[in-house]
Structure 1
C-alpha cells in the first residue's frame, strides 16, 4: 500500500481515477465517512494493486498530459474536438474535474482535428458555460483570444463568467490553429486557480442553495456574483459551498444588501475606523457580507479601485456589493480554509465569532449537496 499527500484542488473521485481504483475503496482504506471532505496535506493510503495511473479512452487518437491550469474546454479547443468527446474518450463523468499529470486520449486520428472556422463577415454569440476559458472558446470558433477580447471589451482574458454573452468575431484564425492558452477563469492578486475548477454557478444552483431567492433576483444578481467568484478564485465545489453558505446567512438569502438597523450603534467605534461624527450611520453594514466601518470601506475601495469611502452607498449596489464580498473573502485567505473543509474557521474570520453557526452550517450542507 502506497501513500499520497492530498494537494489543494484534489477530490477523491479524481484520485480514484488517477490510481485506477474506486472512491469507495479509497474511503474504506482511509476511514473517510464523507468522500466529499478531504483536505490539503492529508495522507491517503492507496490500496495495493492500484498504484499505476490509468490511461483510458479509445484508440486511434493522440494523447495529452494535463498541466496545471488546464480545463477540458481549453484542451478541446486546442485539439479541435469537443468537451463531450473528450469526456467520453476518457471516462470522465465530471468535465470540471481533471488534474495535473492526467493523460488524456484525444479522440480522432493522429492529432488535432480541424475546428470549423467562423463564417467570414458577420458574427455569432456564445454564452459562457461553467468550465469555459477564453482560449477554449477561441479554439472552438477558429478565432484568437485577442480578437475575442477586442470584440467584447475584455481587458483581462482570465476573467469571464458563467452566463456572459460573448460576440464571436467573423473571419477568425485558420481552422485547427490552437489559440493561446491562458489559465482558466481566475482572480487577480489571489492564488492560482485550482486545476479542474471553474468559476461561476447557475441560477438553478443558486436557488437550490437559497430557495427563498426569487428567479428574477437570481437572474439579476448572477452575473455580478459570478464575476466576484472568478476574481476571488472561488472555483471548486468546496469553495463555492462555503462562500455561498456564508452569503446566504449574512444577507438572508440575498434579501438584504443593507443593514436594517441605522448603524448608530457603530458610532465612535475606532476599531472600525469610525473617528468622525456620523461615521456609524454612514458606514453601516452593506453588501451580502456586511461591510462595516470607515476603515473597511476605505480598504475595499482601494482594492477595487472604487471610492467607497467617499460614496459608501455604492457598497449595496450589486455590481459592487458582490465584488466586495469576493475581496473580503480573498483578503482573509478563506479559500485555504474552505479547501481544508474548515467551515468553522471560515465563520470565525467572517463573523469574529460563531454567531448563527447552526444557520450557516445548514446552508453549507445544502450547498455541499448542490456542488
Structure 2
C-alpha cells in the first residue's frame, strides 16, 4: 500500500479518479467519515491494486518514506537511488540537515536504483550540522508514547498530529526524556490532551490587555488562545509569526492549524529557554514561564509524572 500527501485544491473524488479507485474505498481505507473534508498535508493510504501515476520521461512513479530514528537525508537518498538535492526539492526542505522522526518524504521517481535496507549505526536524524541533541537524545515520539501521556487522545488524532508535533520538537531541540515529558505535560494541560486547539471562551476577557499587545478594538476576541499552548494576545501572535515567517497577526486563525500550531508551541518553548529548566527538573518554573503563575499545577504535575514514566 502506498501513501499520498494531500495538496491544496485536492478532492477525494479527484484523487480516487487519479489512482483508479473509488471515493468510498479511499474513505474506508483512511477512516474518513466525511468525504468532502480532507486537508493539505493529510497522509492518505491508497488501497492496493491502484494504477500509480507514472513519472514523466518513463521513470518510475514517486513513492513515499517515513523518517525513522537514525535517518539522514543523504542515507535515504542513497537507499532510494536519488540525490539529496532531488529529495530536498521534492519535499521543500530548505535545510537538508534537518529532518525529523515521523516526517513523510516524497521520493521522486526516475532513479534506477532499488531501495535497500537501512544500514546500521547511522548518525541521528538531523545529520551533521543539524540540531545537536544532548547525548542519548533523539527527536520525536511515537503514537503509542503520545497516547500513553494523553490517553483520551484518539488514535486518529494522534496519527494526524504526530508529524507536526515531531517537527516542532525537533526544531525546539526537545530531545531528552525530561524535555519531552515537560513539554508534553504542559501541552496536555493547556489543550485538554490536544482536544482544544482554540480557547472555548470568546476571548473578550482579554480586551484592552496592553500587556498582551491588545491595543485595537476587538483584539481580545481576535487574538484569543489558540494552539496546544494557547498562544494569546496580539503581541505574541506578532512575535510568533515573525519567528516562523507566517503572518499570524494578519491571519490569527492559522494559529490553530496543526502545521502551524505545534511549531508555535515549539517556538514559545525555545523563546522562554524552557529546555534549561526541563533539564534541571524544575517543572514548577517551566509552568510559571508558560502560565504566568501556577494555575492547574496539580494537573500539570500529574501529566509530567506520567510522561516521565513513558520516557
Report the TM-score, using the length of structure 2 for normalisation: 0.71
Note if 1:185 corresponds to 2:126: yes
Is the alpha carbon distance of 1:294 and 1:147 closer, same or farther for their aligned partners in structure 2, counting shifts above 3 Å?
same
Q: 3-state SS of the aligned residue for 1:290?
A: coil
Is the alpha carbon distance of 1:151 and 1:258 closer, same or farther for their aligned partners in structure 2, counting shifts above 3 Å?
closer
- Find the counterpart in structure 2 of residue 126 from structure 1: 65
- Find the counterpart in structure 1 of residue 212 from structure 2: 272
Q: Deviations over 1:219-238 (max 9, x none)?
A: 11111111111111111211
Note if 1:197 corresponds to 2:144: no
Q: Deviations over 1:108-145 (max 9, x none)?
A: xxxxxxxxxxxxx6365432123323234345556543
Q: 3-state SS of the aligned residue for 2:158?
A: helix
Rounded to whole Å, the distance in 1 between the matches of 2:131 and 2:156 is: 33
Q: How many angstroms does 1:146 deviate by?
A: 2.8
Rounded to whole Å, the distance in 1 between the matches of 2:241 and 2:208 is: 21
Q: Deviations over 1:344-366 (max 9, x none)?
A: 11111101111111111111111
Contact 1:135–1:182 (CA<8 Å) still a contact in 2?
no
Q: How many angstroms does 1:162 deviate by?
A: 2.4
Q: How many angstroms does 1:163 deviate by?
A: 2.5
2:236 to 284, 290, 296: 296
Q: 3-state SS of the aligned residue for 1:166?
A: strand
Is the alpha carbon distance of 1:168 and 1:294 closer, same or farther for their aligned partners in structure 2, counting shifts above 3 Å?
closer
Note if 1:238 corresponds to 2:178: yes
Q: 3-state SS of the aligned residue for 1:197?
A: coil
Is the alpha carbon distance of 1:139 and 1:339 closer, same or farther for their aligned partners in structure 2, counting shifts above 3 Å?
farther
Q: How many angstroms does 1:172 deviate by?
A: 5.9
Q: Deviations over 1:251-304 (max 9, x none)?
A: 000011111111111111111111111111111111100111110010001111
Rounded to whole Å, the distance in 2 between the matches of 1:217 and 1:370 is: 19
Contact 1:267–1:278 (CA<8 Å) still a contact in 2?
yes
List alignment gaps of at least 5 residues for structure 1. 1-120
Q: Where does structure 1 differ by over 4 angstroms across 4 or more consecutive aligned residues? A: 139-144
**Structure 1 segment 1-371 matched on structure 2, within 5 A:** 122=60, 125-141=64-80, 144-168=83-107, 170-171=111-112, 184-185=125-126, 192-371=132-311
List alignment gaps of at least 5 residues for structure 2. 1-58
Rounded to whole Å, the distance in 1 between the matches of 2:159 and 2:104 is: 14
Q: How many angstroms does 1:184 deviate by?
A: 3.5
Q: 3-state SS of the aligned residue for 2:105?
A: strand
Q: Deviations over 1:67-112 (max 9, x none)?
A: xxxxxxxxxxxxxxxxxxxxxxxxxxxxxxxxxxxxxxxxxxxxxx
Is the alpha carbon distance of 1:183 and 1:263 closer, same or farther for their aligned partners in structure 2, counting shifts above 3 Å?
same
Is the alpha carbon distance of 1:224 and 1:196 closer, same or farther for their aligned partners in structure 2, counting shifts above 3 Å?
same
Contact 2:199–2:230 (CA<8 Å) still a contact in 1?
yes
Report the TM-score, using the length of structure 1 for normalisation: 0.60
Q: 3-state SS of the aligned residue for 1:336?
A: helix
Rounded to whole Å, the distance in 2 between the matches of 1:242 and 1:126 is: 30
- Find the counterpart in structure 2 of residue 103 from structure 1: none
How large is the RMSD of aligned CA atoms in angstroms?
A: 2.7
